[in-house]
Amino acid sequence: MSRRALLIYIGLLLLVLILGIAIGSVSIHISEVFDFFKTWVAKGEILRENDQILYHIRLPRVASSALVGILLSLSGLILQGLLQNPLAESSTLGITGGAALGAAVAIVLKPQFSFTFIGSTAVLAIAGSFVSVMLVLGLVNRLDARISTQTLLVVGIIFSMFTGSLLTMLLVFFEEDIKQIVFWTMGSLGNSNAYSVGLLLITACLGVGVTTHFKRELNILSLGEERAENLGVSVRQVRLLLLILASVMTGVAVSIAGGVAFVGLIVPHFSRKLFGANYDVLIPSVIFNGAIFLIIADLVARTAFRPLELPIGALTSLVGSLLLISVLIRKRVNMC
């Protein structure tokens, strides 16, 4: 990525961060935002009422939205690179559904057990996402060794319906948790706090570091598995490790934000349009675009119809479904 592009991205990210922090149910002037940061950084003091809003509500929410955007976007980029399929993404593969089911089970069983280390919701969401990707890819491989777009989408949709039915059964048997599970499955960053930011930040650092480390292998895999093996890439090992990474990133993101679909489809697609398929440039582009996109989506969700707040998952699904239709139509036209 050129220095000019990097500076533009940093400027855009700072702009949407400031707008996300300043705008909400209670609008706060940008000058007050800067005054808050000056006081907080210099003296560690939070004095005014608006400072409390900024510190306890807006900062964790905006930080969480940026980090969730990064995790879901990188996860989508990895899956597309490994499967050589532009429509492979945690939502289209049913991984988000598996993570959602795991997190819902954790919500239901939380009184019975917990993991003080990371939280039972995150643990079961990660487990659900990893089991999902293994099941979906295993079934696709048995049905179609070429792992075509059509087979991938059909199996992903079927698996999403399967996990959705299990989630519905949970709602029937555990009525006392209906409100919490339904609100969470629609996607929301309203419950973001320092814990969620810390967990997302650690996962994002891990995801960015590992993905960047394997950018050469991802570039070589784009030439085909056989060519990659001839060039010294251990395809099986790289694929397994990156699939685990994609599952962990999706699971953590879903455990915090709920059902935020299609981010891993929208952002990598847009980034490829801008910069091409070279992962040296594509990875940083996806990181910035993912953070910017989800901050804007969350800002629209909580301000477009205020005081009502839209589920952020509804917005990303709307954009993602339109993009998915356009890609499929374009593929159809090219084949004719």
In angstroms, rounded to a whole number, what is the distance separating the alpha carbons of residues 260 and 137? 22
Q: What is the pLDDT of residue 336?
A: 54
Q: What is the pLDDT of residue 117?
A: 46
- 52 — pLDDT class (breaks 50, 70, 90): confident
Tokens 């900062």 — which residue? 59
Higher pLDDT, 122 or 266: 266
- 335 — pLDDT class (breaks 50, 70, 90): low
Q: Is the pLDDT of residue 97 over 50?
A: yes
* pLDDT one-digit tens code per residue, 172-199: 888 777 777 777 778 888 888 888 899 9
Higher pLDDT, 330 or 4: 4
Q: What is the pLDDT of residue 217?
A: 92
- 44 — pLDDT class (breaks 50, 70, 90): low
Tokens of 133: 């990707």
Instruction: Give which of 250, 217, 238, 202 is closest to 88, Cα–Cα.
Output: 250
Instruction: Give which of 187, 196, 188, 179 is closest to 56, Cα–Cα.
Output: 196
> Which of 99-108, 133-142, 149-158, 278-287 holds the top average pLDDT?
278-287
In angstroms, rounded to a whole number, what is the distance separating the alpha carbons of residues 245 and 250? 9
pTM attached to this predicted model: 0.88
Under a CB-based contact definition with an 8 Å cutoff, are residues 75 and 246 in contact? yes
- 116 — pLDDT class (breaks 50, 70, 90): very low
- 43 — pLDDT class (breaks 50, 70, 90): low
- For the chain, give the mean pLDDT: 84
Q: What is the pLDDT of residue 60?
A: 93
Domains and CATH numbers, the chain: 3-335 (1.10.3470.10)
In angstroms, rounded to a whole number, what is the distance separating the alpha carbons of residues 52 and 220? 49
Query: Looking at residues 201-224, what average pLDDT do you find?
Result: 92
- 42 — pLDDT class (breaks 50, 70, 90): low
- 322 — pLDDT class (breaks 50, 70, 90): confident
Query: Looking at residues 125-142, what average pLDDT do you find?
Result: 85
- 332 — pLDDT class (breaks 50, 70, 90): low
Higher pLDDT, 253 or 181: 253
Query: Looking at residues 149-170, what average pLDDT do you find?
Result: 84
